[in-house]
Structure formats: structure tokens, C-alpha cells
Structure 1
Amino acid sequence: MAASKKKAASPSTEPAWAAALPYLQPWLAHQLRTTEQPGVSVAVAHRGRVLLSFAQGQGGDGARLTPRHRFRVASHSKTFTAVAVLKLREQGRLKLDDAVGAYVPGLPADVAAATLAQLLSHTAGLVRDGYDAGQWSDRRPFLDEAALRDDLARGAVLPANTRFKYSNHGYGLLGLVVEAVTGEPYTAWVQREVVQAAGLKDTVPDAPQLADSTPFAQGHSAKWPLGRRVGIPGRNPTNVLAAATGFISTAADLARFFASLDPDAADSVLTPASRRELVRRQWRDPYGSVERWYGLGTLSGGTPGGGAAWDHFGHTGGFQGTLTRTVCVPAQGLSLSILTNAADGMAGVWVDGALQLLRTAAEHGAPSAAAAGWGGRWWSLWGASDLLPLGRRVFVANPGLTNPLLDAPQIEPAAAVDGSTRHGRFVQAGGFASFGEAARLEHDARGRAQALWLGGTRLQTEAQAAKELARRYGGG
């Protein structure tokens, strides 16, 4: 990554938000179990250094999913394409206000007049996926150049620069621009000048570049309407739409790559000025319950409760059978990627939940000596509760929620241990919860946690709870 080099910061203690990293695995394991998702792959990095990388569930080939499994990461491709265009601009080979028709002849006048910046920001007013989008349901192959031109021959759908309007076809055009400027196939130039230059070893621009022996996360349908999931091979080429949706990668590679696009990153394939342009919020999504903005090949937003310190940029991806999302939080030096291999995968909301966990850890820090002794997953008739110690508090998390800390009660533990029992008191809880009441964690003679009392409610280990439920209500 030679375009920008700063002296690397000397190694230091891990950021405060890293205190929540160990909880990501048990939380997501419970999420997989309760939602019946096939698999998830996760990576978290601090200033480009991967602190955590793990995978859970199945890869779809009968094998356990691993962090080395590659996923179709779909529209993450747009960020790679935007980086390619900005790199060509740095080399003086094009300008963002150039009309696409200067590089791709034979387009209708209103399409030809669209600027590269408009294509990058999805404001050229072009059709999203054409007039037969069957490629997204495996009813037809992904478009070649002739099919793309046939769709665009009908002209733009909206006047340019009137609103944000997503277009995979627009990014297909950008791939043709890269080919026209470089004289090489898009996939070859981007693989060398962006992917390899960024030091990514597990990323390719499209399926034909992936070796048959490479571990690959097969996609899956949603459970319904069949009542069961079916495997989706997902190795099909995306042809001229590789620039929009072709990329295949791992969570760790994506976490590193998006970290390198932080304008303050030490190393990147782009200059700081280009990175600032890449991630700058340009167009707001005009219709949606979540506040989102688009820059040049990047989505941006914020973390509720976090303020500007938790604003982030990144991208999402949806391919047949996979849903994926990566974010970079520049002020925290944090990048996070979650990849799922189902059409109803929950990568989007799991990223939001993970950000809330990490934000809370950043606020409270590593557990105190008194809090560190509290932990584990505890069960009752009502389901599971997790004890998550952060700072001087113990949070009672709900692993069944996509934000496990939503309205989570907080216990302040006593410093002393009474024999084999730890004591505490609820110091934060909603009005319908046990605010002000006692909590205690009981251990047996060998020091193994055996029961948790939250107010007047006794929670047990999973085995104990299952045995009681079977005895009381049958079914066991």
C-alpha cells in the first residue's frame, strides 16, 4: 500500500472497546442457534491489525465454517471499484467530472452525459438492475457487455443529480471505464493494482479467479417457503457486473481493507485526499428509517448513543444466498466485518449489535477485580441471560436480542466474596425490572458457578434448566 505511508504507531494497550470482544462469540453462537442461520464469519481489527477472527456454523459443503472460507461479498465490490477509479484519477488518467460517454461510446445521450462521480455516488438516475433482473435469482446469467448496453439503451430513469438511486448497472459502466483507461480486463487490473497492492491474500474480483480447492462458503436460501434451506452454489461469474457485485473475500481481508480507507490510516493504496473524498457523505438515503448516506462507493451512518465518535463508513453486500456488511469507525480505529451465508442472513443487524457492545465497552472499560468474577450464561423458563462484566458493572445481557445490551440491567458487585457466593445490587434497571434489589452468584465447593439469583429469580445452567423444564412440563 504505497500511496500513503506514515510512521506506524508503536504498539500500545488494546483499546477499551476490546473488553467486549470475548463476548461476541457466545452471543453470535446463541443467535445462530435461535435463528437457525447456517453460519457466520467475523473479524474485528484495530487500525488494520486483526484482534479477533472466528467463524461458527456450516459452510454449506458439510464442513465446519472457518475464517478462511471465502464469501460472495457482492456490493462490497463497489468500494473496490471506487478505489480503482480514484487511483486512476491520482495517476492523471481520468477526472471524476468526465462524462462516461468519453470512455464508453455508443450510449444514449442522457446516459453518456453521466459523470463518473455521479455513477460512483448512484446519482446518474440509471436503472438499478435492468428490465429482467433474473440474474439475482439464478434465472439467467449475469449480464455481459451487450446485455448491459441493451438495458441502458432505454436511457436514464431519472434526471441526473436529483436523488440517490442505487444502480448496479452504473457500476457495470465504471468497470468498462477502468478497462478503457487501462487497456486491461477490469478483474486483472483491479486484482493487481488494488487487491494485491492492499496486501489482501484471500480476495478476488470474481469467481473465475477463485481456485476450485479454495474453501468457499456456499450460500443458502431462506427457510421458507420450502420449510428448509437449500444450498446455493454461488460460484457463477458476474461478467460485466463484477465491478458492482463480483468480489469474493473473507471477513479478515475486508476488515483490513476498510481500515486502510480511513483517511488517517498509516498505509493505503490511496492518498489521504482521495480517501477523504471516498468516505465523505454526499447523498442521503431519502426514504428509510435508518439514517444513511452514500459517498463514492461507501455507505456511512452512525451508532445510536455514540455521537460523532462512533460514526462509521463501509458497505453491505447481498448475493444469492449471502448477506454481508463491513464498517470502519475512524475515531475508534475500529473495523468490523460480519459475513453470513443465507439469503435471510443477519449481518446487518449483527453489526449494529456488535457496535453497541463495543461502544459500551469503550465507555466502561475492562472489568474491575470485583466485576471480573461474574460471568456465564444462565437459564430460566424465560430463556437465557448472560453476565457481561465491564468496568465496575456487570451487565445482564439478553443474547436472544440483536442488541444484547438493549435496556440491560446493571449490577454493581460487592468487593468482598462471602464464602462461595458473590453479591451485588442492581444499580441500573428499568422501572419494570429489579432496580435496587440484590443479585448473587453461587458456586459449589469446587468453585464452579451453580446458580444466579437476580432479585427473587433463580437462574440455572442450561443442563439444569432443561432437566427442570422436562420434569415439570414433559417432553424429556
Structure 2
Amino acid sequence: MTEWLPEAARYAARWLDYQMRATEQPGCVLAIAGGDKLLLEHASGVADLDSGTPLTPEHRFRVASHSKTFTAVAILLLRERGLLTLDDPVGRHVTGLTPAVGAVTVAQLLSHGSGLMRDGTDSGHWQDRSPFLDEASLRGQLDEPLTLEANSRFKYSNLGFGLLGLAIEAVTGKSYGDWMMREIVRPAGLAATTPDVPAAPGAPLATGHGTRLPFNRRFPVPGHNPTDALAAATGFVSTAGDLARFMASLDPAAGSSVLSAASRREMTRRHRRVPEAEGDRGYGLGTISGSVKGHDWFGHSGSFQGFISRTACVPDWNVSVSIVTNAVDGLANQWVEGVLTIFERFDRHGAAKPGLDVWAGRWWTIWGATDTVPMGDRILLASPGQLAPFAEASEIVPSGPAEGRIAVSGGLGSYGEPACLMPSADGAPERLKLGGTELLPEAAFLLEMEARRGTSA
């Protein structure tokens, strides 16, 4: 395991707690896996706003398009067994398709190059206005003409992955859900994962929530609806912990996986560029890919009514991060990106040298919070309210147990000025001084502000 990872994981959880307070989201769970071992599971908030039930790492979430990664694993496993090839036209396995749809290849479906519509001519199932498509309804949508010529560009399609679910059923002679549980979910050791609702008997399921606007309050969006013939695209129910471990097992260097290393390489490499994406995004076979400061990652995201989720594996660090949230405006995507920026900074500086842990803390002024985070031989000043907390971070180089100098700072900062921890009578840090500015722990800052209010009143 990367030596700085435990410290980085602890700070990531602390940063995420601040983000939860600042954004007033209902709940989220962060899971971090180092290789195939869970290093951290951390829950914040509530599973249901109406009941106030505390959220736990054991709560299941609708993880939506993470289902595409599971489906891709299934297809590649069938390929390993010689039951299909990626170049097969899907009509070789699924009968009754139009000539144009039947000619689309398995690889084109897996990489979103089929040209099929995203959700069909009526996507009311995504608005809770109608049930998800059954097989007859899905086949009816597949009778529609292709939107684009196959293999012309990346075009996301839930219908395409629904069609892959039909292919799995045709090749195996089993229902999608039963075969996935027997051949993928259980062999991967995912005790909290099912291909659709219902979850395992007695398993806690988080309640989804809508946005605060336009009602100025969040309404529940329970997320109990089965996805039927679209389970292969969006049906899965899981936990952050299971997702982190499963994505880690798809790293081509992983020691244990349901797939061969060759299949994992094929699955996680970029097959198509995602156009109009923020940053450089690619898509493999059921996986999204990108990079953070030169470190490549692969994974997937998921959006279900009331739920947003995201998982990323960074092979360079042998680490996977998953965040699941129970609101339709949950910040899982931004928060996973934020965790990766935290890891990148720890990777740059390394674990903190002995004796620097006394500097670790959260400090307040009327301008907000600042975190002091020891790394390597220095202390970085993080902004926990930012989605990338170490962006343009100042750095303190210690000159003694509780003294130092600001050795790195932005042009408008306090470069070159002293920094020190000011102890209380019992020797614990009572305040932090950066240049001429004193910062207080939260409790002391609240008392100071209350005293100011009392004086002004």
C-alpha cells in the first residue's frame, strides 16, 4: 500500500465532512480501497431526511450506470469462455432486431458507438412518470431508426446496454439478474450488491431526495422502482465499499479478479473520446477514463432518481475511491475529483515526517476555515470549502516544534512571514498565527463571535 495513503484517506474524510456541512446535502458515503482491501468507509449525514435515520456504510444506494461496468465484465467473461466475440453483430445472439440494429457489434454497444438513442422516444421512466422498460417496450424502442450511423462517434445509450442485457440472456439461457449474481457478483465477493431492487432481505436502503428548489425543501424520491429490461444499464444496488473493491479488481495489475488481465486491459483502455467533456475524458468498454496531474484513472459514475454516485481507480497509486450520495444534486462526481487532488498532493510530498502531527487542525476566522495538513517535511494550508482544497495552497516549513515560516504562497499571500502554534496552559495548540493573522479552533471562534454580537447588541 502507498505509504501516504492512510493519512490522505483520513484527511479526505475530514474534508468531505466539511463539504457536507457547507452544501447541506442529505448524506454520502466515502469508501477508499488500497488494492483489494478496504482502507476506509466513512458515512456522513442521514439515510432519510424525514426520519433522520443516520447514514451508515452498510446502506445500499441505487448506483445506476455503474451497472454498465458490471455488464461489460459479464460480456468479457462470456468472451473468455468462447461464447461470443466483441466483433459479433448483436443480431447473431438477439433475434427479432431490425437489420441496422442487428448489425451493431457488441464492442460498439459496450463503447457507446452504436448510434442508438440514449433513452428512447419517451424517457418518462427517468422522471418517475412511468415504469422502466420491460423487454417488449425495450424491443419497441430498438425498432426505431439509429440516430447516428454506427461507429461514427461516442453517443451514450442506455438502450444499447439494455440490448447487451438481452444478449447476455440469449447466450446464457438465464435471466440477467440470476446470471449476474451467480457469475459476477458472488465470485467478486460483493455481499452488499444486487443487479436491481429488491436488495437483500433486511438490507438498509437509503432514500433518494430531489433538489431543494423550487420548493425550498427536499422531497423524498425513494428509488424502490425496478429497472426491468434496463437493469444492465442502470439497475444495480450497492454500497460505496463494494464499488471501490470491485473497481479495484478491474485494475489490470490486480491480483484477484473475475476477469483475466488481458480482458481488464481491453476494458479499461480508451476506445472513444468523450466529446464536449470537461477535461480529457475517454470511454472504454463500460468504463470512463481520465487523468489527474498525469495519473490515469478509470471508473464510472451513476445517476438515478434521487441518487448520484462515482467511482475511480488510479492504478499508479493502487487505490480506488467511491462516493455515493442520496440526492439528485449530490456532488459525488466533484467530490471524487476532489479526493483525487488530495491524493495527488500527498503523492507529491509523501507522508508527514515524525513530530509534525501537532500542526494538524482546522482553524477559523471571519473569512472561513483553513486546514493545516502535515505532509512530508512541511505543513500545507488547505481550504476545505473548495472542491480542490490544495489548489494554490500555502506551505509552512517548520523551524521548530511549533514555529516555522511560510515558504510557499500565492502572490497575494503572506510569503516569508512567520507561522506558529500558540499553546494553551495545558500545552495543546490554542490558536494558529500566520503572519499577523490569528486563527482559532471552531469552539473558540464561536465563543468570540457570540461575545462580539453581545457587545454590539
Q: Which amino acid aligns with 1:385?
A: T
Q: How far did residue 212 of structure 1 move?
A: 4.8
**Structure 1: which 5+ runs fail to align?**
1-12
Aligned position for 1:302 = 291
2:230 to 233, 241, 263: 241
**2:202 pairs with 213, 224, 227, which one?**
213
Q: CA deviation at 1:147?
A: 1.1
| Deviation of the 1:365 alpha carbon | 1.5
RMSD (Å), alpha carbons: 1.4
1:362 and 1:400 mapped to 2: Cα distance?
Answer: 22
Q: Could you tell me how far 1:473 is from its partner in structure 2?
A: 4.6
Secondary structure in structure 2 of the residue aligned to 1:58: strand
- What is the CA–CA distance in structure 1 between the aligned matches of 2:374 and 2:88, rounded to whole Å? 55
After superposition, what is the alpha-carbon deviation per residue over 1:44-98, rounded to whole angstroms, capped at 9, x for unaligned? 1111111111111101152110010111100000000000001011111111111
* Residue matched to 1:261: 250
Provide the residue aligned with 1:35 in structure 2: 23
Deviation at 1:156, TM superposition (A): 0.6
Counterpart position of 1:436 = 416
Shift of 1:109: 1.6
Alpha-carbon displacement from aligned partner over 1:404-462 (angstroms, at most 9, x marks no partner): 111111101123x4xxxx11110111000011011111111212221111111111121
Alignment correspondent of 1:336: 321
Following the alignment from structure 2 to structure 1, what is the Cα–Cα distance between the partners of residues 269 and 252? 10
Residue 190 (structure 2) pairs with residue 184 (structure 1): no
Cα deviation, 1:326-359, whole Å, max 9, x if unaligned, reads: 0111121111111111111011111111111111
Q: How far apart, in 1, do the equivalents of 2:3 and 2:223 lie? A: 37
Task: Provide the residue aligned with 2:427 in structure 1.
Answer: 447
1:94 paired with 2:84, answer yes
| SS of structure 2 residue aligned to 1:373 | helix
> Residues 63-142 of structure 1 correspond to what in structure 2 (within 5 A)?
63-142=53-132
SS in 2 for 1:207: coil
Secondary structure of residue in 2 paired with 1:97: coil
Contact 2:352 2:376 in 1 (8 A): yes
TM-score, structure 2 as length reference: 0.97
Are the counterparts in 1 of residues 2 and 318 from structure 2 also a CA contact under 8 Å? no
Is the contact made by 1:118 and 1:160 (CA closer than 8 Å) also made in structure 2?
Answer: yes
Name the counterpart of 2:272: 283
Structure 2 counterpart of 1:202: 192
Deviation at 1:14, TM superposition (A): 4.7
Q: Secondary structure at the match of 2:359?
A: coil
Secondary structure of the corresponding residue to residue 120 of structure 2: coil
Report the secondary structure of 2:17's partner residue: helix
Distance in 2 of aligned mates of 1:27 and 1:280: 31
The answer to whether the 8 A contact 1:18-1:361 is kept is no
Residue equivalent to 1:460? 440
CA distance in 1, matches of 2:302, 2:370: 32
In structure 2, distance between residues paired with 1:288 and 1:456: 43
Partners of 1:42 and 1:53 within 8 A in 2: yes
Moved more, 331-340 or 238-247: 331-340
Q: Matched residue pairs, number?
A: 454
Question: Matched residue of 1:261: which SS?
Answer: coil
One-letter code of the match for 2:217?
Answer: R
| One-letter amino acid of the structure 2 residue matched with residue 347 of structure 1 | A
The corresponding residue for 2:212 is 223
CA–CA distance in 1 between the matches of 2:5 and 2:346?
5
Contact preservation (8 Å) 2:162, 2:230:
yes
In the alignment, residue 437 of structure 1 is paired with which amino acid?
E
Q: 1:372 Cα deviation (Å)?
A: 2.1
- TM-score of the pair, normalised by structure 1: 0.93
| SS at 1:275 equivalent | helix
What letter is aligned with 2:367?
W
Task: Verify the 8 A CA contact 1:15 1:362 in the aligned structure 2.
Answer: no
Q: Is the 8 A contact 1:19 1:365 kept in 2?
A: no
Please state if 1:156 is matched with 2:136. Answer: no
Give the Cα separation in 1 of the matches to 2:121 and 2:451. 59
The question of whether the paired residues in 1 share the 8 Å contact of 2:282 and 2:290 is answered with: yes
Matches of 1:34 and 1:220, distance apart in 2: 18
Conserved 8 A contact 1:370-1:392: no
Contact 1:202 1:249 (C-alpha < 8 Å) held by counterparts: yes
Q: Give the structure 2 partner of residue 8 of structure 1.
A: none
